[in-house]
Structure 1
Amino acid sequence: MSLSIITSKVAGNAVEIAPRGEIDVDTAGEVRDAVAAVLTQSRPSRIELNMRLVSFIDSVGISALVAGFQTAEVSGVKLVVTEPSRFVHRQLWVTGLLGLFGAPEPYRANLASEQAADVANG
């Protein structure tokens, strides 16, 4: 499976990088490059790495996230992971890196419908 990455501005002075697919030995450089490109083009206050659509990440992918975090930090920019898939959340937890990336909760696709049901049911 390949990897695609969408970069967009979000609320305030933040930028979201949203990879889709697998982050592994073949694609990890693309994530690192996306972070570097954002830092070259602008100085956002925050980079949000939305990992909702990442189905797999290996140790090389994790290393790319850490490298991106360090590059952003040197530039005075906070890099956080948002909406990690359950797989990504587990890998960050197992490696002890969940806190480094803001300790995000795993993304749950049906959370919005669950919340709507809770409101409807009182």
Structure 2
Amino acid sequence: METAIRRTLTDDGTAVVVVAGEVDFTNAEDVAKCIEDAVSDGQPVAIRVDLQQAAFIDSTGLGALITGYRAAVDADMAFSVVNASPGFQRVLAVTGLCELFGLGVADESDIAI
């Protein structure tokens, strides 16, 4: 499956990075760079990574999100991940990243292993 990464700037100054497809070792660096570029280009007020169209994420993909988070925090910007599927939320919860990325888990059964 091919991965597409798109970046837009909303009217309120939030940079939105939309990831579609799979995020793995073959493209995690591209995802991280897109998020880092979103932080540095035009100094948005916040960074939002939208995973609604993402089908898969591995540990290198999680690393890309952490890299993006660090870039945003270093620039004093809010960072959030939105529209994560229950499967992604489970991975983020197990790794302790839900709170860091601004994701609430609706129900503890959503993270059962």
- TM-score, scaled relative to structure 1: 0.80
Q: In structure 2, what residue type is equivalent to 1:87? A: G
Query: Structure 1: which 4+ aligned runs deviate by more than 6 Å?
Result: none
Write the mapping of 1:1-122 to structure 2, written as runs, cut at 5 A: 1-104=1-104
Gaps of 5+ in 2: 107-113
Match for residue 109 of structure 1?
none
Equivalent residue letter for 2:43 = R
Higher-Rg member (1/2)? 1
Alignment partners' CA distance in 2, 1:105 and 1:51: 15
- The structural deviation recorded for 1:94 is 1.3
Aligned residues: 106
Task: Output the amino acid matched with 1:100.
Answer: L
How far is 1:104 from its partner? 4.2
% identity of equivalent residues: 27
Which amino acid counterpart does residue 33 of structure 2 have in structure 1? Answer: D
The one-letter code of the counterpart of 1:59 is S
